[in-house]
Amino acid sequence: MTIDAADIQRLADLLHGQRLVVLTGAGCSTESGIPDYRGPETRRKARNPLQYRAFVDDEAGRVKYWSRSAVGWPRFRQSQPNAAHQALAVLETTGLVRGVITQNVDRLHQAAGSRRVVELHGALEDVCCLACGAMEHRDNVQGRILALNPGWDAQAVDFAPDGDAELAATTAQAFQVPDCVACGGMLKPNVIFFGESVPSETVDAAWRLFDECDALLVVGSSLAVYSGYRFVREAARRRKPIAIINLGETRGDGEAWVRVEGRCGTVLPALVDALGASPSSFAA
């Protein structure tokens, strides 16, 4: 898809000289090979995401989660930042972008060099013990999973968003769930499941960043999830300029001052150029 130069100019005119907070969603990472939930391709394969209670209350829920994520994780962890993540990191070095509030759990903003990132929904590479609170890197847990379930990651599957993967229903039955190494307690990926709320410290950090800024840029989010959409609502209430870059419609379209239809991996580098903020000019 080609992008309209007039759109980029409108975006640059709106955002130039502002202190900008960026809200990103799954669409920011599709060009890194991580599927979104509600994009043109994924909507057709409507899935039933795991609910928080089904995970903590039910062994079968945990078997389902870990058996699938054991297959999905190796590919998820290899994802690399794309041109959209890189452009946002460049715009932070120029001072235009003050920080990113992300709904993504892939840590690709940090991998691209963004420094101030609020992870609204946590990160998949962190695993937390619900009994003792110990945090462990997902790679370590993966090692234990494969020791308990040799060869489990060698299955042919259909990869899904959030590091999940579709398995044949029968294969999950014999799966052994990993426990906390410190206390034997229940492990949970440190991400917000459906039916769980965002911790108040995280929400506070997001509002602090929001309050420091004059304008909001949304990148690659349908805004269907309220924990992200509330920033658009509040920006509208306070009459802060709102810009949206997305493929397809979003819940915030009616509130946007400028809306650019396009791939963020194309639009954001064009915005960097339009603002005269090339990476080389800020390399020092």
Ligand X SMILES: NC(=O)c1ccc[n+]([C@@H]2O[C@H](COP(=O)([O-])OP(=O)(O)OC[C@H]3O[C@@H](n4cnc5c(N)ncnc54)[C@H](O)[C@@H]3O)[C@@H](O)[C@H]2O)c1
- Residues that are catalytic: 121
Q: How many CA atoms lie within 13 A of 215 on its CB side?
A: 20
CA gap 86, 32 in Å, rounded: 12
CA 169 to chain centre: 28
Contact range with Zn ion by CB under 5 A, out of 12-20, 101-109, 115-123, 128-136: 128-136
Contact range with ligand X by CB under 6 A, out of 24-32, 136-144, 148-156, 174-182: 24-32
162 near ligand X, judged by CB under 6 A: yes
CA gap 178, 183 in Å, rounded: 12
Residue 221, contacted partner among ligand X, Zn ion, none, CB below 5-8 A by kind: ligand X
164 near ligand X, judged by CB under 6 A: no
Task: Please answer whether residues 60 and 87 qualify as being in contact, where contact means their C-beta atoms are separated by less than 8 angstroms.
Answer: no
Residues 175-214 within binding reach of ligand X (CB under 6 A): none
Nearer of residues 174 and 183 to Zn ion, judged by Cβ: 183
98 near ligand X, judged by CB under 6 A: no
81 near ligand X, judged by CB under 6 A: no
104 near ligand X, judged by CB under 6 A: yes
The side-by-side arrangement of strands in the sheet containing 187-191 is 135-137, 122-129, 187-191
7 near ligand X, judged by CB under 6 A: no
Give the type of residue at 196.
Answer: E
132 near Zn ion, judged by CB under 5 A: yes
Residues 157-186 within binding reach of Zn ion (CB under 5 A): 180, 182-183, 185
Burial 5-43 (b: 16+ CB within 10 A, else e): eebbebbbebbeebebbbbbbbbbbbbbebbbbbbeebe
Token duo for residue 164 = 């999940």
121 near ligand X, judged by CB under 6 A: yes
37 near ligand X, judged by CB under 6 A: yes
Phi, psi (degrees; rounded to nearest 5) at 105? -115, 20
Residue 152, contacted partner among ligand X, Zn ion, none, CB below 5-8 A by kind: none
CA gap 197, 263 in Å, rounded: 30
Q: List residues near ligand X by CB under 6 A.
A: 25-27, 29-31, 34, 36-40, 103-106, 121, 161-162, 220-225, 228, 246-248, 250, 263-265
